[in-house]
Amino acid sequence: MDKGKLQLWTVLDVIRWATEHFEKHEVDSPRLTIELMLCEVLKCERVQLYLNFERLMHKDELAQVRVMIERRVRDREPLQYILGHTYFYGYRFTVGPSVLIPRPETELLVDWSIKYIKSQPQCKTVLDIGTGSGCIGIAIAKQLPLVSVTGVDKSNDALETALLNAARNSVTNIRFEQRDILEQYTFGERFDVVVSNPPYISLEVMNELTPEVNQHEPLEALTDNHDGLLFYRHFARVLRTILKPGGKFFLEIGFGQAEAMRSIFCDYYIDILEDFSKIPRIVVGTV
Ligand code: GLN
């Protein structure tokens, strides 16, 4: 980002320069990336950038953008961590390295569980296992104000982010609890619905992930350090004690795991729903 001492940078200059720089370094969505960085630094909406292409950048603004660009290009840090937030199910979520970045496929899990809960007026309680940023539980709580949601996670740092996200989205019908579900799976109540997007990446596949994922996202949120199926096997053993009789569970699964689910959940009635790319993605089951 050197233009000689005397030359001043406009918003458009930065957009052009950074877009090219990101393209050269194979960063996804180059133009969008710089625009979102600029919105963060200039505290404005994207449309404002377009109305202010000729605005001159201040020295400290340029310095902030430069740091963001370096984090993205040199460190391969995900854009969402650099910005400090992302959107999920239409709501804004604070994210940082202690929580997984919510993925669009997971919105489908939220959609299906909301549809189910709406169709069952007796459904009042939902447990979100491995809540992370709180995205699943918060989206459900926000959409269904009469339902009480409990979000659990092993990580206290994740729970802090989840609490913050609940507060920032003005959700009051959710509470959070620190627990390692593999060890602590007896609750003082039984739930109507369980939702979870557990760590399902196998150790083997972890090495094939991009540095954005395997060097920045929390490992314990991504992988079970095993074959990727550890949590589902555990769920198959304990869901009958966590859910009420007739209760429903919605679990996200990874690419290629559908067949394994049929045998892990052979004692249950399950359906496997596909995502937008026709990849089997959500196990829906009844206990
Ligand atoms: N529930 C969060 C999500 O779906 C976190 C999941 C996780 O950490 N594995 O994004």
**pLDDT tens digits in sequence order for the chain, 287 residues long:** 665 555 799 999 999 999 999 999 999 999 999 999 999 999 999 999 999 999 999 999 999 999 999 999 999 999 999 999 999 999 999 999 999 999 999 999 999 999 999 999 999 999 999 999 999 999 999 999 999 999 999 999 999 999 999 999 999 999 999 999 999 999 999 999 999 999 999 999 998 999 999 999 999 999 999 999 999 999 999 999 999 999 999 999 999 999 999 999 999 999 999 999 999 999 999 99
Ligand 1 centroid, distance to 51 Cα (angstroms): 37
- Are residues 60 and 129 located together in one domain of the fold? no
- Are residues 166 and 236 located together in one domain of the fold? yes
Of residues 120, 95, 93, 119, the one with CA closest to residue 107: 93
Q: Is residue 79 part of a domain?
A: no
- Domain of residue 17 covers 11-74
Of residues 259, 265, 261, 197, the one with CA closest to residue 237: 265
- Are residues 54 and 104 located together in one domain of the fold? no
Q: Which of 95, 100, 155, 234 to mutate to test the pocket of ligand 1 (most atoms within 8 A of CB)?
A: 100
Domain boundary among 74, 98, 118: 74
Of residues 92, 90, 82, 102, the one with CA closest to residue 164: 92
Strands 243-252, 91-94: pairing is unpaired
Domains in the chain, number: 2
- Are residues 206 and 146 located together in one domain of the fold? yes
Tokens of 262: 């049929």
The CATH number of whichever domain residue 154 belongs to comes to: 3.40.50.150
Of residues 171, 176, 181, the one with CA closest to residue 242: 181
- Are residues 139 and 196 located together in one domain of the fold? yes
- Are residues 164 and 237 located together in one domain of the fold? yes
Q: Is residue 267 part of a domain?
A: yes
- Are residues 200 and 277 located together in one domain of the fold? yes
- Give the nearest ligand 1 atom to 200 CA: 9
CB 252 within 8 A of CB 105: yes
Q: Is residue 120 part of a domain?
A: yes
User: Distance between CA 101 and CA 99 in Å, rounded?
Assistant: 6
